[in-house]
Amino acid sequence: MALSSELVLDASNISVQFGGLLAVNDVSFNIPKKSVVSLIGPNGAGKTTFFNVLTGLYKPSEGKVMFGDREITDLPPHKIASIGLARTFQNIRLFGLMTAEENLLVAMHSHLKSGITSTILRTPRQRKEEKEALDSAREILDFVGIGKWASEYARNLSYGDQRRLEVARALALKPEILLLDEPTAGMNPQESSVFVDFVHRVRDARDVAILLIEHDMSVVMSVSERITVLDRGEKIAEGSPEEIRSNQRVIEAYLGKAASEGRGK
């Protein structure tokens, strides 16, 4: 599938410094509308750090991030989230003591309007808004396949369902871009292949572009329209799955890793 040239996100020359460590070094990266693109690289390559820049958690020491035609480099995280960049976390960070649907309602916070007084008085408008939000939350939970756990506390869900709930919560933000940080971590091969279909379903039904950080190469190769490879903070390759598969630098980066850590994926 050819990538449409219209970009929903364009990050240029991003660098992030942690003390003496250059975790991300002059990386430019864009996301075409409604595409599925991936970011891969060995452990510690700077993938999560790059995510954190896009979502406003870290401010880059160099470079800027454009979201559509709006610059978001210096916006606070909650603002970035509310204008359409939603993420999941590498280590699941659900609100464990809230139910699945409450988790989604929190993510809808910025789209809801009722304030202190209308909440206390439970005005008809506030009630209507709450009901619509709840319906929408349940719909999303059904969509990701955990509708029956809507009123279960998030911490009681199984690992796989928690991963789904993370995606559902991000979708509740009604994002234009969905950033998934190692969503298949801890899944078995069968679950992972189901996940590939799931990603496409999300993209098509929810009209989002998806940026995926992923270690599982079979997932990456079958789901991505474009792959970007980071190694020690630098972008070493970018292209279609076929191009990446045969790229010498990528193979070296990964083989070096595999030899030292025995990582076979």
Partner 1 sequence: MMATRAARKAKKATRRPASHRTWALGYLAVATVIFVVYQYALPWEGLPLPIYDFLQLWLPPTSINEALVYVICALGLNVVVGYAGLLDLGYVAFWAIGGYCAGWFMSNFFEQWNFHGLSSVASTEPGLHINFWLVLVIGGAVCAFFGVVIGAPTLRLKSDYLALVTLGFGEIIPQIFFNGEDINGFNLSNGTKGITRLDPIPTGVKDLGPFDFGSKFVIFVLLAALMVFISLQLRRGRLGRAWLAIREDELAASMMGVPLMRTKLASYAVGAVAGGIGGVAFATHVDGVYAERFNFSISIFLLAMVVLGGMGNVWGVILGAFILSWINSTGLPALGDTFNTQFGTDIDFPSFTFLLFGLVLILMILFKREGLIPESRLRMVLHEGDADEEMKPAHEEEK
Ligand X SMILES: Nc1ncnc2c1ncn2[C@@H]1O[C@H](COP(=O)(O)OP(=O)(O)OP(=O)(O)O)[C@@H](O)[C@H]1O
Catalytic annotation, residues: 182
Question: Which residue number, 85 or 230, has a Cβ lying nearer to ligand X?
Answer: 230
- Closest to 179 measured CA to CA, from 50, 59, 71: 50
Least Å distance, CB 195 to ligand X, is 18
Question: Which residue number, 43 or 190, has a Cβ lying nearer to ligand X?
Answer: 43
Least Å distance, CB 182 to Mg ion, is 6
Using CB under 6 A as the criterion, what x/- string covers residues 59-98 for binding ligand X? -------------------------------x--------
Is 96 a binding residue for partner 1 by CB under 8 A? The answer is yes
Contacted by 36, from ligand X, Mg ion, partner 1, none: CB < 5 to 8 Å by type: none
From candidates 14, 27, 37, 45, binder to ligand X by CB under 6 A: 45
- Closest to 16 measured CA to CA, from 56, 68, 76: 56
Stretch that binds ligand X, among 18-26, 77-85, 218-226, 243-251 (CB under 6 A): 18-26
The SS3 call for residue 142 is helix
- Separation of alpha carbons 257 and 263, rounded Å: 7
* Residue that has been written with the tokens 């329209």 in this structure: 225
Least Å distance, CB 107 to Mg ion, is 22
Is the separation of the CB atoms in 168 and 143 below 8 Å? Answer: yes
From candidates 2, 5, 20, 43, binder to ligand X by CB under 6 A: 43
Is 55 a binding residue for partner 1 by CB under 8 A? The answer is yes
CB atoms under 10 Å from CB of 233, counted, come to 23
- Closest to 55 measured CA to CA, from 152, 169, 175: 175
Stretch that binds partner 1, among 63-71, 73-81, 193-201, 233-241 (CB under 8 A): 73-81
Is 46 a binding residue for ligand X by CB under 6 A? The answer is yes
Sheet hosting strand 226-231, strand order edge to edge: 85-87, 177-181, 209-213, 36-40, 226-231, 234-239
Please, what's the b/e burial string for 36-51 (b: 16 or more CB within 10 A of its CB; e: otherwise)? bbbbbbbeebbbbbbb
- Separation of alpha carbons 111 and 138, rounded Å: 16
Residues of this chain, 206-265, that bind partner 1 according to CB under 8 A: none
Stretch that binds partner 1, among 111-119, 188-196, 198-206, 240-248 (CB under 8 A): 111-119
- Closest to 221 measured CA to CA, from 199, 202, 253: 199
Is 48 a binding residue for partner 1 by CB under 8 A? The answer is no
Identify the H or E element spanning 9. strand 7-18
Provide the binding-site residues for partner 1, judged by CB under 8 A: 55, 57, 76-79, 81-82, 86-87, 89, 93-98, 102, 105-107, 109-112, 114-116, 119-122, 126, 130, 149, 151-153, 155-159, 161, 169-170, 173
